[in-house]
Amino acid sequence: MWTRTAALLLAGGVFSASAATRAYNLTLHSGPRSPDGFARHVYLINGQQPGPLIEADQGDTLEVTVFNDLDVENTIHWHGLLQRGTPDMDGVPGVTQFAIPPGGNFTYRIPLGDQYGFYWYHSHFKSYYNDAIRGPLLIHPSPSLRRPFQSLAQTEAEKSALLQAETEATPLLLADWYHSPSNTVYQQYLRTGAFPSCVDSLLANGHGRVQCLPNDLLMAGSGLGFDSTSTEMASKTSSMPHAMNSGSTMASCMNDCATTTNAMPMNTAASMSMAMVRRAMSAVEIPGDKSDGGMEMSSLNALGCTPPMMFNPGYSIDSLPQVTCSNTTAPLLTIPVMRSHGWLALHLVNAAATSKMQVSLDAHTMFVFAADGVYVEMQEVKIAQVLPIAIGQRYSVMIRLNQPPGQYYLRFASYPVGDMQQVIQDQAIVDISDEMHTDTDTAFDKPQTTWMLLNGSAKAQVSVLNEEKLAPLIPNMPPAAPADLTKVFTINQTDPVVWVVDKAPYSEAKTPVLYGNGSDGWTANTTLHMPFNSTIDIIMQIADDSMDTMGHPMHLHGHKFWILGTGSGPLPFSSVMDAPTSVINMHDPPYRDTVELPANGWAAIRYVTDNPGAWFFHCHMQWHLLSGMALVLVEGDSLLPNISATSADPSTPGASGDTTMPGGSRPHATATNGADQPFTRSGLLVVLAGMLFVCSRYW
């Protein structure tokens, strides 16, 4: 235990002696906006979407008061913040707090401790973050914390340039966007059973445009490899790039069209499951036999989506509103940068509702230096790099500005996680100028420096980030001993509109689970009480009989965890300790807060229950979460904050919903001072951290 604690302290560096309280006010309201050129009513934070960047220094305390001026309830979750000692600040309705009612407010007070890096915040009520209640959150690391840039810098000047680039890094919140409010989208899903994976556009920091695909590309939908006679990827996957090569002239092709003959197929081989085949060959109604020339099964709809194949009884493709697409000319996000700076740093987050993304920057290589807010060993790829980013995940990247001045597309495309696919890409512009060339209005968009296709596939010879090779910069090994508890969760779609993590669909408790046995959720079958101060292994795998075997971005609150391994099919071992090192990495696994469970596959994570709280564990695909794909994992039951359900009820004066007392007299969660409290915020730990940190180096 001492070793792990010491390692954590070392990894975190010293708490700043000048730790400050960073106060923010976030007002949730609504208004008309046209982020992709299509006007709709959106939710806003302080008049903008996404919300403002929340910044703090390592060791600071965040104090964010959320005023809910919407006519719906809300909460704000701080994705990835560990909430040590403040489990009631995690922002999950029914788990850690009562929702903030319309007209109410709530003050989130979060000591950040040793956390640093890039995070994000978002509504955790219903699917309102899809209506734009989301924003970036950045904790600047202590200057004394070791950086992972050494391999990139030969001189002091280069070191300075890298550090400066990191300081000036641009947060980039990538999202998918619907032209209908999330409530409307979800209600249609519940009614029809047709999964709403088809979005209208993708956005970078709230900017994008609708880019309709040319007809020939839509008709090349069979290039997605759908072949109901085989569980293997159909060889005709090449037909999509072929079609793209055969005459598409739309601007949306972005010159990809000329260079796609060696394109890699979409990454769906692993996901072509028996479930898909069963469904395709069953009585499920599919388009294709319309006399009016309607879509063939293998065609994409106007938005580039494979048509839904699963419906509630009595519904079919004809029950759905007709899918249409109209190009827009909304301005793209532009990121200006001076070439003389040498480097550009970006903090990327996939804040989408349903779309896994692939990201690339034309002509440039990205060096990933942090994953989910933790510095990692730098990973250089020689030619180029495409980053796959699951929903909720973050990457911080460093980009060497070694190309001529000009405008380069930063591309982000939806990438399939199963049989529901959409060919959609959007772009932001990185505008590189220098003292000699201030005029950069020429789009620099050459096929030979475009790394990926419209569908997010990396071209041949293009390197894709290896997500398994993301060892933390400061070694942070999982406990070596066998787990105290192994939980096997069988991820399952049991009905068109029901998704579960473990047997039963989650539903929100009336009284937050954190409030103990006064909560109706305390003994729910989706609340698991974990042993405290224990090593837990969670093995997730897709159920054999799941109606859909797509992948899932699984997020655990209150912890980072070691990703010991992922793979296809079921994990063929009863515990991770039985698996060989080629399958399970106990040496230098990634340490993150969101893991992508592969389509038709398994994922094994390990964490230590050292943080008393009620922690949500769920799929970050919004429609899955809303449809039950979540659990509450309680740890340290006897050490939970002393909050009574009565005093915290929003109808009680001074509680979270009180409009006149922002966070004032509500019962603040003060961690108990029991002897077995593992992470008190006492000065002793600060001193210990400082003493231990003397051996840490700047580089």
Nearer to Cu ion by C-beta: 9 or 390?
A: 390
CA dihedral over 287, 292, 296, 300, signed as positive or negative = negative
Query: Encoding tokens for residue 83?
Result: 């909430």
E-only strand ranges, 21-162: 21-33, 40-45, 54-57, 61-68, 76-79, 105-111, 117-123, 134-140
Nearer to Cu ion by C-beta: 58 or 627?
A: 627
Residue 570 beta carbon to Cu ion: minimum distance, rounded to whole angstroms: 18
Residue 79 beta carbon to Cu ion: minimum distance, rounded to whole angstroms: 16
- β-pairing, 334-338 vs 425-433, is parallel
Nearer to Cu ion by C-beta: 161 or 353?
A: 353
Position closest to Cu ion via CB: 619
Site mask, Cu ion, residues 287-326, x = CB under 5 A? Answer: ----------------------------------------
The interface region with Cu ion, picked from 19-27, 31-39, 246-254, 549-557 by CB under 5 A, is 549-557
Q: What share of the chain is helix, strand, coil (3-state, %, to 5)?
A: 20, 30, 50
Nearer to Cu ion by C-beta: 417 or 639?
A: 417
Nearer to Cu ion by C-beta: 363 or 621?
A: 621
Q: Compute the distance between CA of residue 472 and CA of residue 477 in angstroms, rounded to an integer.
A: 9
Residue 453 beta carbon to Cu ion: minimum distance, rounded to whole angstroms: 25
- 254: helix, strand or coil: coil
Residue 491 beta carbon to Cu ion: minimum distance, rounded to whole angstroms: 8
Residue 282 beta carbon to Cu ion: minimum distance, rounded to whole angstroms: 22
Residue 597 beta carbon to Cu ion: minimum distance, rounded to whole angstroms: 8
- 398: helix, strand or coil: strand
Of 224, 271, 265, 269, residue with least CA distance to 460: 265
Of 572, 491, 493, 502, residue with least CA distance to 278: 493
The interface region with Cu ion, picked from 84-92, 166-174, 519-527, 545-553 by CB under 5 A, is 545-553
Q: Compute the distance between CA of residue 128 and CA of residue 615 in angstroms, rounded to an integer.
A: 20
Enumerate residues 610-639 that contact Cu ion by CB under 5 A. 619, 621, 624
Q: Compute the distance between CA of residue 398 and CA of residue 367 in angstroms, rounded to an integer.
A: 5
Q: Compute the distance between CA of residue 419 and CA of residue 23 in angstroms, rounded to an integer.
A: 44
Nearer to Cu ion by C-beta: 45 or 542?
A: 542
Nearer to Cu ion by C-beta: 354 or 519?
A: 354
Nearer to Cu ion by C-beta: 542 or 621?
A: 621
For the chain, what is the radius of gyration of the CA atoms?
A: 24
Nearer to Cu ion by C-beta: 353 or 621?
A: 621
Nearer to Cu ion by C-beta: 213 or 621?
A: 621
555 forms part of the interface with Cu ion (CB under 5 A): no
Query: Encoding tokens for residue 333?
Result: 């996000």
DSSP state of 173: E
Nearer to Cu ion by C-beta: 560 or 624?
A: 624
All residues at 6 or more sequence positions from 187 whose CB lies less than 8 Å from its CB, including other chains: none
CA dihedral angle for residue 148, residue 149, residue 154, residue 155, rounded to 10 degrees: -110
Residue 621 beta carbon to Cu ion: minimum distance, rounded to whole angstroms: 4
Contact by Cβ (8 Å): 583, 565: yes
Query: Encoding tokens for residue 264?
Result: 């890699």
Q: Which amino acid is at 365?
A: T
Q: Which residue has the tokens 């939710």?
A: 43
Please report, in angstroms and rounded to a whole number, the separation of the first and last CA atoms in the chain: 27
Residue 602 beta carbon to Cu ion: minimum distance, rounded to whole angstroms: 15
Residue 619 beta carbon to Cu ion: minimum distance, rounded to whole angstroms: 3
Enumerate residues 28-67 that contact Cu ion by CB under 5 A. none
φ, ψ of residue 319 to 5 degrees: the values are -80, -15
CA dihedral angle for residue 537, residue 617, residue 24, residue 112, rounded to 10 degrees: -10
Query: Encoding tokens for residue 353?
Result: 């509702």
All residues at 6 or more sequence positions from 119 whose CB lies less than 8 Å from its CB, including other chains: 78, 79, 80, 81, 136, 137, 138, 139, 373, 394
Residue 417 beta carbon to Cu ion: minimum distance, rounded to whole angstroms: 8
φ, ψ of residue 13 to 5 degrees: the values are 75, -170
Q: How far is CA 346 from the centre of its chain?
A: 16
Enumerate residues 591-610 that contact Cu ion by CB under 5 A. none
Among the listed residues 552, 555, 559, 592, the single contact to Cu ion using CB under 5 A: 552
DSSP state of 459: B
Site mask, Cu ion, residues 485-524, x = CB under 5 A? Answer: ----------------------------------------
Nearer to Cu ion by C-beta: 332 or 389?
A: 389
Residue 147 beta carbon to Cu ion: minimum distance, rounded to whole angstroms: 35
- β-pairing, 343-350 vs 334-338, is unpaired
Nearer to Cu ion by C-beta: 11 or 92?
A: 92
- 342: helix, strand or coil: coil
In the chain, what's the furthest Cα-to-Cα distance?
77
Nearer to Cu ion by C-beta: 349 or 491?
A: 491
Q: Which residue has the tokens 């309607």?
A: 294
Residue 622 beta carbon to Cu ion: minimum distance, rounded to whole angstroms: 9
Residue 552 beta carbon to Cu ion: minimum distance, rounded to whole angstroms: 3
DSSP state of 405: S
Residue 551 beta carbon to Cu ion: minimum distance, rounded to whole angstroms: 8
Nearer to Cu ion by C-beta: 368 or 420?
A: 420
Interface with Cu ion (CB under 5 A), residue total: 4
Q: Which residue has the tokens 């740093």?
A: 345
Residue 354 beta carbon to Cu ion: minimum distance, rounded to whole angstroms: 9
Of 76, 82, 27, residue with least CA distance to 58: 82
DSSP state of 611: S
Nearer to Cu ion by C-beta: 172 or 599?
A: 599
Residue 347 beta carbon to Cu ion: minimum distance, rounded to whole angstroms: 24
- β-pairing, 54-57 vs 134-140, is parallel
Query: Encoding tokens for residue 548?
Result: 């859909």
Per CB under 5 A, residues contacting Cu ion are 552, 619, 621, 624
